[in-house]
């Protein structure tokens, strides 16, 4: 077990003309290897900032972040990122996108092809290897993004709204794919989403964040991700305990949104 830990992490952004933004305050968290964590919270509560700190794109202004006991000082191959959209090389083929990292590391063609072919199969993209990415649907492009992230064999997969730009049906299929890949690869996965249902389905552990300052607010341990690996996600959503959690978390988030609106003077 090599956990990912945050110890009293805070992040303050300086603003030229106004007071600084306290984007994150006192975040302490330990995520064991192989855990699937979903993070949910209203807009502006610091979710992307938190993920960027874990990726090493941002240095926190306070606290410490470690992976396997080593401080995170910048981006590294032990952490892979999947963005909402637009992070692929659109003019390149699916294969060239997926094996971009291994190619840059000068891994031989036959090894690369073996890994890429397996990933294309796992993500349901077999038969599309030589197609340019711009010719694929949004859902297929996100599968390419997942495969490309996994090609680097990271220990931790960080996803910022990876399914947010997809239509409802494609999104549901992709949620099943995320669960399947999590189970098959055993990787630690941290997924940010705006969707309460998605957070419930894709989090063994669901963390709700609150804004101003961005902080951890509540945490749930949930059975739905494990159950969803082999079951129809619609059936899981129909479970009474799923509905009860959904209602509870929706009320939580609604409460936060109302508080934000009230404070900023926008009509309630
Ligand atoms: N580079 C930056 N400089 C100044 N302020 C920033 C910067 N990045 C983020 N912030 C501020 O930090 C806060 C948290 O932003 P962040 O993007 O992490 O929120 P989020 O939870 O991901 O929101 P969303 O759900 O809308 O994506 C916001 O108030 C934002 O304006
Ligand atoms: Mg964000």
Q: Whose CA is nearest to atom 29 of ligand 1?
A: 44
Higher pLDDT, 227 or 263: 227
Q: Whose CA is nearest to atom 25 of ligand 1?
A: 43
List pLDDT tens digits, range 218-228: 999 999 999 99
User: What's the chain's average pLDDT?
Assistant: 91
For ligand 1, whether the C-beta of 23 sits within 6 Å is yes
For ligand 1, whether the C-beta of 46 sits within 6 Å is yes
Neighbours of ion ligand 2 (CB under 5 A): 47-48
- The CATH number for 4-30+43-214, chosen from 1.10.1060.10, 2.40.10.10, 3.40.50.1970, 3.40.50.300, is 3.40.50.300
- pLDDT score for 24: 97
Question: According to DSSP H, which parts of the chain are helical?
Answer: 47-55, 94-98, 100-104, 109-122, 138-151, 168-185, 196-201, 224-228, 233-237, 240-263
List pLDDT tens digits, range 91-121: 999 999 999 888 887 888 888 889 999 999 9
What is the spatial distance between Cα 42 and Cα 125, in angstroms, rounded to a whole number? 34
* 133-150 mean pLDDT: 92
Which of 9, 12, 13, when mutated, tests ligand 1's pocket best, judged by the most ligand atoms within 8 Å of its CB?
Answer: 13
Which of 10, 16, 25, 49, when mutated, tests ligand 1's pocket best, judged by the most ligand atoms within 8 Å of its CB?
Answer: 49
For ligand 1, whether the C-beta of 113 sits within 6 Å is no
The answer for residues whose C-beta is within 8 angstroms of residue 174's C-beta and 6 or more apart is 139, 142, 143, 162, 163, 166
The percent of residues above 70 in pLDDT, for the chain, comes to: 97
Q: Kindly indicate the confidence band of residue 264, based on its pLDDT and cuts at 50, 70 and 90.
A: low
Contact 162, 145 (CB under 8 A): yes
Q: Starting from the edge strand earliest in sequence, which strands make up the sheet with 62-67, in order?
A: 21-31, 4-13, 62-67, 70-71
Alpha-carbon dihedral of residues 123, 128, 134, 138, nearest 10 degrees? -30
Q: Determine the atom of ligand 1 nearest the C-alpha atom of 52.
A: 18
User: Distance from the CA of 235 to the center of ligand 1, in angstroms?
Assistant: 35
Partners of 160 in beta bridges: 192
The three-state secondary structure class of 141 is helix
- pLDDT score for 102: 80
Sequence ranges of the domains in the chain: 4-30+43-214
């Amino acid at each position: 077990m090599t956990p990912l830990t945050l110890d009293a992490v805070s992040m303050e952004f300086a603003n030229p003309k106004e007071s600084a933004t306290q984007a994150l305050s006192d975040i302490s968290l330990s995520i064991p290897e192989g855990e699937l964590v979903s993070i949910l919270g209203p807009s502006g509560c610091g979710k992307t900032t938190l993920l960027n700190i874990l990726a090493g794109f941002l240095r926190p202004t306070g606290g410490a972040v470690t992976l396997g006991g080593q401080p995170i000082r910048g981006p590294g191959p032990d952490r892979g990122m999947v963005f909402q959209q637009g992070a692929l090389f659109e003019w390149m083929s699916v294969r060239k996108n997926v094996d971009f990292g291994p190619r840059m590391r000068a891994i031989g063609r036959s090894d690369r092809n073996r890994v890429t072919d397996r990933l294309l199969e796992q993500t349901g993209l077999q038969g599309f290897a030589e197609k340019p990415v711009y010719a694929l649907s949004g859902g297929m492009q996100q599968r390419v993004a997942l495969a490309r992230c996994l090609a680097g064999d990271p220990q931790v997969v960080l996803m910022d709204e990876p399914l947010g730009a997809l239509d409802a049906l494609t999104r549901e299929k992709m949620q099943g794919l995320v669960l399947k890949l999590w189970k098959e690869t055993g990787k630690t996965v941290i997924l940010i989403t705006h969707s309460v249902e998605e957070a419930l389905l894709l989090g063994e552990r669901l963390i709700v964040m609150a804004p101003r300052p961005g902080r951890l607010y509540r945490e749930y341990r949930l059975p739905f991700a494990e159950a969803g690996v082999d079951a129809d996600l619609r059936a899981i959503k129909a479970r009474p305990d799923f509905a009860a959690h959904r209602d509870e978390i929706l009320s939580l988030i609604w409460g936060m949104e109302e508080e934000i609106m009230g404070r900023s003077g926008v009509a309630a």
